[in-house]
Structure 1
Amino acid sequence: MTSSMYSFKNKGIRTLLTATAIAMLMQTAVAPVAGIASAAPAADSKVTSASSAAIYKSFQNMLYKKDGLPAADRYLESKISQVTPYHATLMVLQLENARFKALTAITDRMLVPNVQDQMQKLYKWNDSFTQLMSRTKDTSLRSLLQQARDSGYRLVTIEGSLYPIMNYAAFEKYTSYVNKDIKQYIRIMAVETSNISTEDGGLMIGYQDMLNRALNQEQFLNDYPKSNRKQRVQMLMNEYTLYTFYGLDNTPLFDYDTNIMAANAQKGYKAVLQRNSSGDSAFLKKLNEFMDVVTESKFEKTEAVENWLDQNVSRNEYSNQ
């Protein structure tokens, strides 16, 4: 097996790790996180600004050491109830940034051909890092798998290879302490990483699930227009908008041969529109207009449908450049 076969497949995990997102995360990983509103000390009367700041400083000292992610996470978990919401939010976002920055290096280590071969021989469907660790006697491999797990990643198969990705479920233990926007952001991202939406140019979730995710992303953007994580959620929603109105290469919305809209998409889109009032949702209003146009065309991708798409959902507008 050659190393080229283990090249990083951006298309399969575009929703999770777009090139723009990675660049942004790496730029901000060691910098102060801007755009977080200051908060009063937590309800616990023992929490003071000074004690909270001291914990924050100790956390940073751990986080930015080489291979410091596991220790920083353990420290944060033990101390987060003793800091202000402001510092809690700041530390959680810095932990996320650091995990993103470290992900590239640990991915490269796992994609080394002999390492990938060892993992593939041990792997069973839906295995976790812990399960894989229990099957190997190779101390070096076990150490790598443990580091990946304890650094906040989960194991997935993408296009036939085994990858570490962000494990947002590992952030859920912090949601009671952070600001409301970050609590919702973590929930949105936990859904994405627990059940990946696309792989190898194909849609891996149902159409209703896809639309519901887009609606949750839109709600976040409406509720928290100044959130520090607005740009990342916007990028995610851009992806879902393109999935909704165009489909993917291997799951096109309109069949390549017949130009007819996928039957399951027709049913799913109608069901979501029937259950939800468009109200303040620009996404649902646009979807409703789209369904009117395609219904009139008898669900065929006619010139009228293509013109509507060009005018209302331009690929260029929603592509994450």
Structure 2
Amino acid sequence: MTPSYPSAKRNRLRIIMTATALALLLQSGVAGTAGVATATASNTESKVTTNSSKAIYTTFQSKLKQKNGLIAADAYLSNRITQVTSHHLTLMVLQLENARLKSLTAMTDRMLVPNVQAKIMKIYQWNDTFTGLMKRTQDSSLQSLLKEARDSGYKLVMIEGSLYPIMNYSAFQKYNTNLKPDISSYMNIMATETKKIPAEDGGLLIGYQEILLRAINQERFLELYPTSNRVKQVQNLLDSYTMYTFYGLNNTPLFDYETNKMMPNAQKGYTAVIQRLATVDSPFLDKLASFMDVVSEAKYEKTTAVEAWLDINVPLTDDSSR
């Protein structure tokens, strides 16, 4: 792709960047994890006063509002995680996320400058990091840019032949112990998304079972925290994963364009998850099981009966991610 950054691609990347592992969810239960988080937060809040917490909150906001304040605000907050109430910490972490998202466009534009991309490409290695690149260049201006990107809360990814900064949600997980349970869960979901992005250039990058496990975690979040400040973001994710599950993407369709047959790996993956999680209460899984019954009866071919089921149960909209 050319070193430009169209708004359409920018919006798509934000969706990609916007689950806790299902194994954790099934072993301890999200509700159980939330209980631990609440208890920890309560213990922390008993050691701090509202006034001292508010003072830190005020200072944090002033640092964040300064020019290029992302790094200073994060460093300040990192050293005061246990000195603030769960309420104030959660507010600050959400404000930090908003600020990083807002600044991401400018950082992306700086990295996509043709000569900058050329310099990075010369030293780039597969699955590289900003830190790795910094060690392999003697260009002080490039080192400075890479360090700023890393310390501002971004990570490096290769997308369609160009190197981009995206949100590094794993960097937020250091705050999880004292965050409100819903935001802690949200950050885990988003960290999973950015550790391995699910799709690129009209194709899926993760397996069919992983698609389902992420969707179930997103669904569980919405059930547990219907009034969370981040419901919209998780709902958008679940909407995308629903399309991935029942339709696939242009370059990785669920049903082969030539044979009209369901992809064999999807058949196996979906069936395995449905069987393994038969006791899990999940409307998403129930819908998938119903779909698989119809598809199985059609001998895994996209017949008119399968299409009719999809039209009724998972209708496509104008902005569906296909």
Q: TM-score, normalised by structure 2?
A: 0.88
Q: Determine the C-alpha separation between the residues in 2 that align with 1:64 and 1:3.
A: 30
Give deviations 1:124-172, integer Å, cap 9, x for gaps. 1111101101111111111111110000000010011000000011011
Give RMSD over aligned pairs: 2.1
Q: Determine the C-alpha separation between the residues in 2 that align with 1:239 and 1:115.
A: 33
Residue type of the alignment partner of 2:164: Y
In the alignment, structure 1 residue 269 sits paired with structure 2 residue 274 = no
Seen in structure 2, the aligned counterparts of structure 1 residues 279 and 137 have a Cα distance that, compared at 3 Å, is closer
SS at match of 2:164: strand
Seen in structure 2, the aligned counterparts of structure 1 residues 3 and 187 have a Cα distance that, compared at 3 Å, is closer
Q: Which moves more between the two structures, 94-103 or 44-53?
A: 44-53
* 8 Å contact from structure 1 (residues 11, 201) kept in 2: no
Q: Identity of counterpart residues, as a percentage?
A: 62
List aligned pairs for 1:55-70, cutoff 5 A: 55-70=56-71
SS at match of 2:170: helix
List aligned pairs for 1:23-102, cutoff 5 A: 42-43=43-44, 45-102=46-103
Number of aligned positions between the proteins? 300
Residue type of the alignment partner of 2:222: L
List aligned pairs for 1:13-28, cutoff 5 A: 13=13, 15-17=15-17
* 8 Å contact from structure 1 (residues 254, 260) kept in 2: yes
Seen in structure 2, the aligned counterparts of structure 1 residues 41 and 211 have a Cα distance that, compared at 3 Å, is closer
Tell me by how many angstroms 1:277 deviates. Answer: 2.4
Residue type of the alignment partner of 2:139: D
Corresponding position of 1:34: none
Residue type of the alignment partner of 1:163: Y
Q: Determine the C-alpha separation between the residues in 1 that align with 2:238 and 2:2.
A: 36
SS at match of 1:175: helix
Seen in structure 2, the aligned counterparts of structure 1 residues 138 and 292 have a Cα distance that, compared at 3 Å, is same
Tell me by how many angstroms 1:281 deviates. Answer: 1.3
* 8 Å contact from structure 2 (residues 134, 147) kept in 1: yes
Q: Determine the C-alpha separation between the residues in 1 that align with 2:273 and 2:313.
A: 20
Q: Which runs of 5+ in 2 are unaligned?
A: 19-37
Q: Determine the C-alpha separation between the residues in 2 that align with 1:302 and 1:50.
A: 65
* 8 Å contact from structure 2 (residues 261, 301) kept in 1: yes
Tell me by how many angstroms 1:177 deviates. Answer: 0.8
* 8 Å contact from structure 1 (residues 273, 284) kept in 2: yes
Corresponding position of 2:300: 299
Residue type of the alignment partner of 2:125: K
Corresponding position of 2:134: 133
In the alignment, structure 1 residue 214 sits paired with structure 2 residue 180 = no
Residue type of the alignment partner of 1:117: A
Q: Determine the C-alpha separation between the residues in 2 that align with 1:80 and 1:144.
A: 28
Tell me by how many angstroms 1:17 deviates. Answer: 4.8
Give deviations 1:94-132, integer Å, cap 9, x for gaps. 110100000000000000111111111110111110110
* 8 Å contact from structure 1 (residues 254, 261) kept in 2: yes
Seen in structure 2, the aligned counterparts of structure 1 residues 11 and 182 have a Cα distance that, compared at 3 Å, is closer
